[in-house]
Amino acid sequence: MQKFNCIIVEDEPLAAEVLCDYIRQVPFLELKAVCADAIFAMEVLQREQVHLIFLDIHLPKLKGFAFIKALKHPPQIIITTAYQEYALEGYELNVTDYLLKPIEFSRFLTAVNKVRQQPLPAPAAPLPARVTPPERAYLFFNVSKKKVKVYLDEILYIESLKEYIGITTHKQTILTKFQLGEIEELLARNNFIRIHRSFIVAKDKIDAFTATDIEINGKPIPIGRSYKELVLRELS
C-alpha cells in the first residue's frame, strides 16, 4: 500500500489532536510531524518528504495562505479552519480540499481520498558524486501570475506598499502581494532587520547610518522612532 507522508500545521492543541486521531485511523496516511506554526513546518519540509499538509489558516508568525505562497513546489494541501469565507482564496491556491471545524471523520475521509487519487511523486534521483547542492537561500514570490525566485543574499531592502511589498535588489524591484509582517517572519533567521513600520533592510548591505536613517546603495531609508533603540543596538 502506498503511504502518503503528512504533517499537521495547527496551533490549537485540541484541533491538532483530533487530526492526529483521524490520521491514525487511515492506513495510507503516515504522520511525520505536528507543527504549531508555519516556520517550523518549513523546517520539516526541508528534511522530510511530505505529500500532504493539513493546514490551519490563522497561525502565529506566518498565516496559512502566505505559507502556501512561499513554497516553491507545495505538496497537496487540505485546509482545516473555522472560517468558511476564505474558501475561494484557498481553491485559487489549488488546495485539495477545504474542511470546516469541527471536522467530522466522514468529511475528513472524503478529503483524504481525494489525495489518494493522485499518484505519489517519483523519488528524487540521487545526486552525482562530488556534486553539492546550492546552499544559497531563496524564496519564490508571485509576480504577474508567475513565481519569481529571489535569492535572499541579493535583497537590499523591502518596502511596504499597502497590500503589496517592493523587494529591491541591485538588479530590480519586484512587487508582490504580501504583508511586511509576513515576510519579516520568513526572514527572521537571516541577515535582515526591520527599521521602520514600512522597511526591512539587509544588515550587510548598509553603507552608512545615523540615529535617524540608514543608507543603502545611495538611498536614505528612515529609522522609525519605535525601532530606533533596537536598530542602533544591532548596528553599533
- The residues of the chain that CATH labels 3.40.50.2300 are 4-116
Share of the chain above pLDDT 70, in %: 92
- 114 — phi, psi (to 5°)? -65, -40
| Nearest CA-CA partner of 69 in 82, 80, 83, 55 | 55
The answer, yes or no, to whether residue 18 has pLDDT greater than 80, is yes
CA distance 196 to 226: 8
The answer, yes or no, to whether residue 53 has pLDDT greater than 50, is yes
C-alpha cell at 133: 547542492
CA distance 58 to 68: 13
Q: 144-203: per-residue pLDDT in tens?
A: 888 888 988 999 999 999 889 999 999 999 999 888 888 887 786 678 999 999 999 999
Comparing 3-12, 118-127, 208-217, which segment has the lowest mean pLDDT? 118-127
Confidence at residue 1, expressed as pLDDT on a 0 to 100 scale: 67
Q: What is the mean pLDDT of residues 127-149?
A: 71
Confidence at residue 126, expressed as pLDDT on a 0 to 100 scale: 47
The answer, yes or no, to whether residue 103 has pLDDT greater than 90, is yes
CA angle, 170 as apex, 222 and 61 as ends, to 5°?
60
Give me the amino acid identity at 192: F
> Which helix (H) or strand (E) element contains residue 24?
helix 13-24
Q: Is residue 207 a contact partner of residue 185, using CB atoms and an 8 Å limit? A: no
The rounded mean pLDDT for the chain is 88
Confidence at 135, pLDDT banded by 50, 70, 90: low
Confidence at 121, pLDDT banded by 50, 70, 90: low
The answer, yes or no, to whether residue 131 has pLDDT greater than 50, is no
Q: 62-89: per-residue pLDDT in tens?
A: 899 999 999 888 999 999 999 999 899 9
Q: What is the mean pLDDT of residues 104-133?
A: 72
CA distance 42 to 9: 10
Whether the full predicted model's pTM is greater than 0.75, yes or no, is no
| Nearest CA-CA partner of 179 in 162, 202, 204, 197 | 162
Give me the amino acid identity at 23: I
| β partners of residue 215 | 208, 220
Topology annotation, domain 4-116: Rossmann fold (3.40.50)
Class of CATH domain 138-235:
mainly beta
Confidence at 206, pLDDT banded by 50, 70, 90: very high
- The residues of the chain that CATH labels 2.40.50.1020 are 138-235
CA distance 10 to 125: 32
